A and B are shown apart, each in its own frame.
Chain A
Amino acid sequence: DGGITQSPKYLFRKEGQNVTLSCEQNLNHDAMYWYRQDPGQGLRLIYYSQIVNDFQKGDIAEGYSVSREKKESFPLTVTSAQKNPTAFYLCASTNYLGGRYSGANVLTFGAGSRLTVL
């Protein structure tokens, strides 16, 4: 079955450590996204990528980094510069056609990674 796989599901980090969250999709989607969700809040965009080897900052990119070396993979690194990293991180993907998104602009999400800083 096609889908998005995020790992690890739960992660604990000590202050000052970098951690990398994995996101892999086999949906052949061009566009991939990382969101952060805090309790009682909506999703906030961290980074997004519309094509391999290219990515753009979202609304809360500070303290995060990404890479897009393969179409299927969009890992997110939470660096020590991120002052409040405890959150639920969601990776998503969608189709991307000819410079415009397809009519039904629907995101498919991974199951999420829950990061806790100790």
Chain B
Amino acid sequence: RKEVEQDPGPFNVPEGATVAFNCTYSNSASQSFFWYRQDCRKEPKLLMSVYSSGNEDGRFTAQLNRASQYISLLIRDSKLSDSATYLCVIDSGSARQLTFGSGTQLTVLP
């Protein structure tokens, strides 16, 4: 089983739609969780951290389910500018730092 697994997509959704991505992880000792956004041929950038209680930033909501070992990202009222690849990132707390998922590609259509 991969350490971090994501549905690669692509997810093609119309503007205004709500879309959700999940990411499962295998290391139950994982301590911190993040969603990064990566535009085509660019570097990843932090979208949001994921906290145990769940957290929201505008149209974006992230949640953590430790019992089932997954995190999720919900995007409401999708915009064309949301089109990107969304990377799930897990920190196991070891010196080797972060483990990246392969990413979920989202295309928001006009």
Contacts and interface: CB of A to CB of B under 8 A. Distances in A.
A12 to B, nearest CB: 16
Contact of B100 (A43, A48, A88, A105): A43
A58 B96 CA distance: 7
B43 A109 contact: yes
B72 interface: no
Most buried by B among A43, A44, A58, A88: A43
A110 interface: yes
Contacts of B41: 88, 114
Most buried by A among B46, B95, B101: B95
A18 interface: no
A111 B34 CA distance: 20
A109 B44 contact: yes
A40 B43 contact: no
Given A90-B43, A106-B46, A110-B43, A42 B95 contact: no
A7 B11 CA distance: 33
B97 A42 contact: no
A109 B97 CA distance: 14
B4 A42 contact: yes
Contacts of A41: 102
Nearest to B45: A109
Given A40-B102, A112-B43, 10 more contacts: A48-B96, A88-B41, A90-B43, A104-B32, A105-B97, A106-B46, A107-B98, A109-B45, A111-B42, A112-B42
Interface of A: 31, 33, 35, 40-45, 48, 50, 56, 58, 88, 90, 94, 101, 103-107, 109-112, 114
29 contacts: A33-B97, A40-B8, A40-B103, A42-B4, A42-B87, A42-B100, A42-B101, A42-B102, A42-B103, A43-B44, A43-B87, A45-B97, A48-B95, A48-B96, A50-B95, A56-B95, A58-B96, A101-B91, A104-B32, A105-B91, A105-B97, A105-B98, A106-B34, A106-B49, A107-B46, A109-B43, A109-B44, A110-B43, A112-B42
